[in-house]
Structure 1
Amino acid sequence: MAGKTAKKQKETKIVYAWEKYPQGKERDKVMKFAESYRKFISENKTERECTSTIYEDAIKNGFVDLEEVIASGKKLEAGSRVIANNMGKGLALFIVGEEPIQNGMNILGAHIDSPRIDLKQVPLYEDALYKTHFAMLDTHYYGGIKKYQWVTLPLALHGVFAKKDGSVVNVSIGDKPGDPVFGISDLLIHLAGSQMSKKATEVITGEKLDILVGSIAKSKEEEEEAKDLVKKNVLAILAETYGIEEDDFLSAEIEVVPAGEARDYGLDRSMIMGYGHDDRVCAYPSYKAMLKIDQPKYTSVCLLVDKEEIGSVGASGMQSRFFENCVAEMIALTGEYSDLYVRRALKNSKALSSDVSAALDPNFPAVMEDKNSAFFGKGLVFNKYTGSRGKSGSNDANAEYVAKVRAIMDNNNVKFQTAELGKVDEGGGGTIAYILGNYNMNVIDSGVAVLNMHAPWEIISKVDLYEAYLGYVAFLKEA
């Protein structure tokens, strides 16, 4: 009888996560969470915007700025919620646990930067060489992109101008109703014989990713010199609308991103097409998971960082001392400080490097090995290792830690799968996992499977997003 029961259970084991959520209230939870995420990535297309939005929401949910806590001299206790802002480009959120911080933390680490195109510091020029008289913005792409994917798309400008007087002007053009959009032109097919014979890496080069922003000349009567009149007209618009002068581009950070909101994808609305799933599809549920934690045994942490797409470098990247410094401050605020306690806290911690994985694409199956691939609808993805070729640059999680994470997911009925990033020798990639691992802590990559990764418009499954959220909550509570 027991054998028949076991056989029946095996036969009814779910294959796809959607089977957990039949039509009705259970599926509504998945769709409601996905809709809140869809709005989030539609409204937050840069690391600065993500930081600002999450910071404001966290304050509303009881988190207190670390600088404010330091200034008050108040001692932190179990259940205290603290948030640290890293230059407006990243965050560290803490919920103090019952155990001393030096006994370890449960960390969800994700990045909030995405591949894009940046403006150069001296970007604005007028192309009058061939009498086109276009105002153009010179650019430098950021992260790994297929450059040809970014032409002939409606694009938006998001970012900040930092002025010499210390003020900062926020700019967002191309996503509000009635806004103009911008774009990168491409050669018409009728004259593209030579272009079409080139390798994909040469069809569009980095210096050909310039943005067309204007074509009306300023009145000659208004100018002493009848030169660059289209450029001068654009500058006049910027001055009138934003108070911006041409030299202010020198201290600006303006990002060129796809214009338009994320959309439901598929007749069944089971997916979301949007810009920046990598890695906001992991950052968002990581933050939301923190809101489900009250008084954890071990201190819960959500770490959201910048610059992952270019190697996690710089002051706002994971390789900076920001997180380590925050941990030191937290220990000092909870009791007696010791550098040894900081080292112990990092070593004793357990982390999920919450980053996306490549979904098997039925149009390109040859680069994947199906037994070890991520699939839409099969839940949260764990990558024991990433890297390239011989696991170069990989964290490669310990087997014992993988077993612990498996147990947490199974005990909480979280649908998950394991995967590699394509076939051996096909390519590869990396995350912040190895940097966390440098602290001697246990860490494994976990995230959501993505189609079209690093393209202007990426695709994810709503149910995988929801399973990631459930998995992150379970990890914070039980790791």
Structure 2
Amino acid sequence: MLLKKENGWKQESVDKVRVFDFCKEYKISLDKGKTEREYVRYAIEIAEKNGFVKAETKEQLVPGDKVFYVNREKNVVLAVIGENPITEGLNYVVSHIDSPRIDLKQNPLYEELELAYMKTHYYGGIKKYQWASIPLSLHGVVILANGEKKDIIIGEGEDDPVFTIPDLLPHLAAKFQGERKTGEVIKGEELQIIVGTIPTKIKNSDVKELIKYAVLEELNKAYGMIEEDFISAEFQLVPAFKAKDVGLDRSLIGAYGQDDRICAYTSLKAILDLDGIPKKTAVTFLADKEETGSNGSTGLQSNYLEYFTSDLINRVKGNYSDLDLRKALWNSNALSSDVNAAMDPIFKGVHEAQNAAKLNYGIVVTKFTGSRGKSSTNDADAEYVWSIRNLLNKNGIIWQTGELGRVDEGGGGTVAMFLAQVGIKTIDVGPALLAMHSPFEVSSKLDIYETYRTYKVFFEDMV
């Protein structure tokens, strides 16, 4: 056949019941893991239930062994040791588990006009106005003055209070907001949450801000916090609502954080569901900090990939050399498993239709990302693109190609270039989303399932 295949739901081989059943647990994973730390805990929990153990508990690794690594509670790596010598390369599927959100500032709490507010700093690329006037939950960790660590989630329980960033009413917004550019309808410093209005009952002349003090009393009572503890805390505000089916036919999923936990979940499930021992050692790597450039010790620009790969080599071979690491990386394959932008008929002008991804057309193979003149991209070579194309066709995967918008429209990056920098053959392969980076991103159930199938056959058949 000379032409591309029809879109996914028109394929006779699609099993709707299997697709829908697979996506039920995916929605649960989104609700359980709204932050990096939470998703790492979720991944470890299901990994251990499937026979994975901490790598440091196994002095010697042999084919079929299942191990995991954890980096600072924000990265998790799952590996299944393959039959081939490890220096002949590994098969990596690398996703990120951070998502755009609102973080609390280190000194957030203040009182004005008998209202207590907390100041924030947004994380990643967001449309700031989308985060106003919606229910937000507070997730995070705080290290108290005595060194005790407390995990905190407020706003997810049925009876929990939530938080919100109040917007300006339309009756008074015509001049104040109406003359602003879209990106500044709500400005960064205006992203502030209401946290209380009732003053403390304490009688103390040193306490001037009674409502602020009452908020601190609540935090102290529940978690033992004092105001200074905000300095050693990580608090994130995320949408308080749960993942939901979208549409009368329930074919879509709407939820926060699908970029990129849609790939995190499917790559996690793929390695858990491996049939037998793979030829090459299989690795699912869930990373952090992609939304801010993959920086820091938990991002792909750190050397953590080289660290755990070196450790795997040492435990498999019983010894290690830098040359072994370089050989292993240079002989490896990777899927940078990240999302693409689905073309929306309402805003199709930002896309070039012939090279745009669409919902329900399967997983998207993205040869290059970057922006405008392909800056900050990997741009996979033709040989590797063919090998992925061949793998997908051979296994009956429903797939498409995609590009992140028109040439001069904008663009974006992934972790692909950081994998390629150490010599790993890499390409971006993941599903498409509508409303990417919004508090309620939309995905296709069929595309999710084809993404899972892709990662699984990549681990099983890619050599």
TM-score, normalised via structure 2 length: 0.97
* Aligned counterparts, 1:236-315, within 5 A: 236-293=217-274, 294-315=276-297
| One of 430, 451, 463 as aligned partner of 2:413 | 430
Find out whether 1:36 has 2:25 as its counterpart. yes
Q: What is the aligned partner in structure 2 of residue 143 from structure 1?
A: 124
**Cα separation, 1, equivalents of 2:273 and 2:258:** 22
CA contact (8 A) 2:368 2:428 kept: yes
1:20 Cα deviation from its structure 2 partner: 3.6
- The amino acid of 2:166's aligned partner reads S
Give CA deviations for 1:4-34 in whole Å, capped at 9, x if unaligned.
xx7xxx89x85121234679xx211100111
Q: What is the aligned partner in structure 2 of residue 3 from structure 1?
A: none
**Cα separation, 1, equivalents of 2:153 and 2:12:** 38
**Cα separation, 2, equivalents of 1:400 and 1:351:** 14
Find out whether 1:17 has 2:8 as its counterpart. yes
- The amino acid of 1:298's aligned partner reads K
* Aligned counterparts, 1:307-456, within 5 A: 307-335=289-317, 336-456=319-439
Q: What is the aligned partner in structure 1 of residue 68 from structure 2?
A: 83
- The amino acid of 2:102's aligned partner reads I
| One of 100, 105, 108 as aligned partner of 1:115 | 100
* Aligned counterparts, 1:99-114, within 5 A: 99-114=84-99
Q: Secondary structure at the match of 2:199?
A: coil
- The answer for unaligned runs of 5 or more in structure 2 is none
Aligned residues: 459
1:51 Cα deviation from its structure 2 partner: 0.4
Q: Secondary structure at the match of 1:97?
A: coil
Give CA deviations for 1:285-305 in whole Å, capped at 9, x if unaligned.
001000122311100000110
CA contact (8 A) 1:157 1:174 kept: yes
* Aligned counterparts, 1:224-243, within 5 A: 224-243=205-224
Find out whether 1:219 has 2:201 as its counterpart. yes
1:68 Cα deviation from its structure 2 partner: 2.6
Give CA deviations for 1:305-343 in whole Å, capped at 9, x if unaligned.
000000000001011111101011111111131110011
Give CA deviations for 1:175-202 in whole Å, capped at 9, x if unaligned.
1111111000111100111111211122
Q: What is the aligned partner in structure 1 of residue 55 from structure 2?
A: 66
**Cα separation, 2, equivalents of 1:245 and 1:408:** 56
CA contact (8 A) 1:92 1:323 kept: no
CA contact (8 A) 1:21 1:27 kept: no
CA contact (8 A) 2:246 2:254 kept: yes
- The amino acid of 1:370's aligned partner reads A
1:133 Cα deviation from its structure 2 partner: 1.1
CA contact (8 A) 1:159 1:170 kept: yes
Q: Secondary structure at the match of 2:68?
A: strand
Q: Secondary structure at the match of 1:217?
A: coil
Q: What is the aligned partner in structure 2 of residue 471 from structure 1?
A: 454
**Cα separation, 2, equivalents of 1:137 and 1:102:** 51
**Cα separation, 1, equivalents of 2:450 and 2:111:** 50
TM-score, normalised via structure 1 length: 0.94
CA contact (8 A) 1:43 1:261 kept: no
